[in-house]
Amino acid sequence: MNTVITFGTFDVLHVGHINILERARAKGDHLVVGVSSDKLNFEKKARYPVYKENDRVKIIKSLRCVDQVFIEESLELKAEYIKQHQASVLVMGDDWKGRFDHLSEFCEVLYLARTPSVSTSEIIEIVKSI
């Protein structure tokens, strides 16, 4: 089995999330998604997600392109998650380009282009201004 793994917060789900998850799934025959914990999201972005981690996990699990979901507790554990899930490919958005190249000793590392003109942070700012 060719397992692909990817990670993200997946807060305020939008077409960019769907696009990258579908494209990640196309790189293998089993897609595992690590959803950032609320705590990890706060450490990365200095804000908590709009949706709690259990709700975000449920949303991502419901997508037909996703086979398995777990909560990512730490950015530093990516190698462990790759090994645990026996992933042969790591897919990340190109906004992370180069940041995970060191994991190529465990699996192929691919950075996919993000969907232009859509981001969760921008959506949140628009909603706040209304």
Phi/psi for 45 (5° steps) reads: -120, 0
Question: What is the C-alpha separation between 67 and 84, in angstroms, rounded?
Answer: 15
- State which H helix or E strand residue 93 sits in: strand 89-93
pTM summary value: 0.88
Average pLDDT per 10 consecutive residues for the chain, totaling 130 residues: 95 89 97 98 90 96 98 96 98 94 97 74 57
Establish how many alpha carbons lie within 13 A of residue 71's alpha carbon, considering only the half-sphere containing its beta carbon: 13
Q: Provide the H-helix boundaries in the chain.
A: 15-25, 38-45, 53-61, 78-84, 120-129
pLDDT value at residue 115:
73
Q: Residue 46 carries which DSSP code?
A: S
Residues labelled as active-site residues:
44-45
pLDDT value at residue 34:
98
